[in-house]
Amino acid sequence: MAIVVFTFLTAPLLSHHTMAVYDQTTLISIKGVVSKIEWRNPHSWITLTVTNADGKTVAQQIEIAGPRDLMERGFDRTALQIGQTVTLDSWMPKNPGLNGQPIGRMLILADGRRFDVSETNWLATAPLR
């Protein structure tokens, strides 16, 4: 019985991904227009329409902290709206082909307000701007 309870309680921790696949030494600023917001657990997602180096617009999805963590930092559903221009300082995957999307660190609104959108347990080692 104790093994079953231990497995049940620790399984979510073991299934969570690691930050080792991201380059945490460099933050990349991604500026774009919010086209989609997904408030989900364990992570939320923001999709920005960005203009790439070729001048073409592309959709860039960025993972951010879950709704509870965001709300504890003063970032709630009213802070961000579809159509807003924002900048998301993010860590990029070391191997984008294998590791997926960037992970957001700091969201900067057009009015200058800044919100920490990173995962809570990453704050102690994360570089800030």
Helix/strand/coil (H/E/C) assignment for every residue in 49-81: EEECCCCCEEEEEEEEECHHHHHHCCCCCCCCC
Q: Stretch 9-34: mean pLDDT, rounded?
A: 70
Q: Stretch 66-72: mean pLDDT, rounded?
A: 92
**pLDDT confidence bin for 27, thresholds 50/70/90:** confident
pLDDT at 12: 44
Domains (range + CATH), the chain: 19-125 (2.40.50.140)
**pLDDT confidence bin for 110, thresholds 50/70/90:** very high
Q: How far apart, in Å, are the Cα atoms of 18 and each of 13, 24, 52?
A: 11, 12, 28
From the CB of residue 60, how many other CB atoms can be counted at a distance below 10 Å? 19
22 DSSP 8-state letter: B
Residue with tokens 């009015």: 111
From the CB of residue 16, how many other CB atoms can be counted at a distance below 10 Å? 10
> Residue 5 pLDDT more than 50?
no
d(CA 89, CA 104): 6
- Reading the block at residue 35, the tokens are 């086209």
Most confident of 5-9, 30-34, 77-81: 30-34
Higher pLDDT, 104 or 99: 104
DSSP 3-state of 107: strand
- Reading the block at residue 74, the tokens are 């003063």
- Reading the block at residue 119, the tokens are 């995962």
pTM value?
A: 0.76
Q: Stretch 113-128: mean pLDDT, rounded?
A: 68
Pick the closest to residue 64 from 97, 36, 88, 80 (CA basis): 88
In this structure, are residues 115 and 70 in contact, taking their beta carbons and an 8 Å threshold?
yes
